[in-house]
Copies of this chain bind each other. A is one copy, B any other.
Amino acid sequence: MPKLDTDTLYVGLLGCGVVGSEVVRLLAESRIDFKARSGANLVIKKIAVRDLGAARPGIDKSLFTTDALSIVNDPEIDVVIELMGGIDPARDYLLKALNNGKAVITANKALLARHGDELETASDKADVDFYYEAAVAGAIPIIRPLSESLVGDYVTKIMGIVNGTTNFILTKMFETGADFDVALKEAQALGFAEADPTADVEGFDAAAKAAILATLSFHHTVTDADVYREGITKLTARDIAIAKDMGMVIKLLAIAENIDDEKLSVRVHPTLLPETHPLAAVRGAFNAVFVEAEAAGELMFYGRGAGGVPTASAVLGDLVAIARNLVDGRTAPATSDYASLTIADIGTTHTRYLIRLDVQDKPGVLAGVANTFAANNVSISTVRQTGQEDTAELTVTTHLATEESLANTVKQLNGLEFVKRIASVIRVEGLSA
């Protein structure tokens, strides 16, 4: 990037919600000597907002504008921080900012998962920094560890609890025995879930983060469209109780896996984990990312995944890093995406499963069920049967099987006259081969 020609770096902010207002507050109030750390005075010059009238106590009103373009086109502004969210018009603003030679910081996972490659290309072309530590797992440093610290290693798999809302809900369900709806309402009342919780509970937010993590881990561009996605809305108190009884927990995991150096499986779904797995202990609104690499072995990064203040920490880390670069006229190296991998169809993905089904309690039923698994080449690991009057509940866990074989098994089980219903099918991770 061109060297800063004064000792002041001007920042333009797009959006001033929970995170943006904390960025402004921390820059003004923190005990940190930002000048000493970064080499420049970090000054917020303009803040684009939708509604000039909204109350934003403590922030100088003269900074606000409704004209975001006046920020991305302001020749004096060195760095644009985008915290408005959504794909349009954020994408357009950031492309303009990059093309105008401004460094960009964004926490916008949806935009990155859809158009990250386009933005990276624009930043490379303009020779400016493009940072997004805050986009995945809030305050947890995960972008630099994956794109820099582990760049000399071969990552094989990454599993993350990257959505605080669903982890809060699942933790509640686990701890209190509540059903999904009840736990969701509590999360909403406490501000951990939005009025329309779809993006969180249906896994869209986690899927965007999965795409970003996969891109960095495997040096291959993965978009949100590549991610198989299942939310947590169908999980019941009974599912959680069964898991608990088996010494397991259920987490919504974002998983990205390298299969034979050829394919990537990238998916988000409720997952059973043994309670001894490091991710199992990640409770409430906390996030964690678990990484398996050939040389490093198992790593985990843990912390607060959301919230205005923690997310602002990541944004300010990026801002100081960019300031240091601008002061010296340096641009950070681009991430690499040379790898030629294809996205594995979910049907070909191998995982373990737990299948719970209600059957008639009569002779031959277990044999019929077992035969159906065997006929589809799905090997059973454990079976538990509990009875309630004339219905038996069968809980079957399997060894590794393809999604396709499993789906066929479920379909055939559904067709058996003594099978009353398939109550649930949940994938299992974290068991050794």
Contacts and interface: CB of A to CB of B under 8 A. Distances in A.
A80 B315 CA distance: 34
Nearest to A150: B317
Give the size range of A's interface with the partner: 35 or more
Interface of A: 22, 26, 30-34, 36-38, 133, 139-141, 143-145, 148-154, 219, 261, 278, 281, 293-304, 309-310, 312-321, 324-325, 328, 330-331, 333, 336, 338-339
A293 B310 CA distance: 9
Contacts of A37: 151-152, 219, 336, 338
The 8 closest A-B pairs by CB, nearest first: A152-B316, A141-B149, A139-B296, A295-B313, A141-B145, A299-B303, A36-B338, A296-B313
B295 A139 contact: yes
Contacts of A148: 141, 144, 317, 321
Given A333-B321, A338-B33, A152 B313 contact: yes
Each complex incorporates copies of this chain amounting to 2
A149 B317 contact: yes
A304 to B, nearest CB: 5
A309 B296 CA distance: 7
Specify which of A148, A151, A309, A331 lies most central, judged by the most chain B CB atoms within 10 Å of its CB. Answer: A151
Contact of A309 (B139, B219, B295, B309): B295
A302 B299 contact: yes
A304 B313 contact: no
B315 A296 contact: no
Contacts of A318: 152
A329 B54 CA distance: 47
A276 to B, nearest CB: 9
A313 B144 CA distance: 15
Contacts of A219: 36-37
Contact of A32 (B145, B152, B299, B328): B152
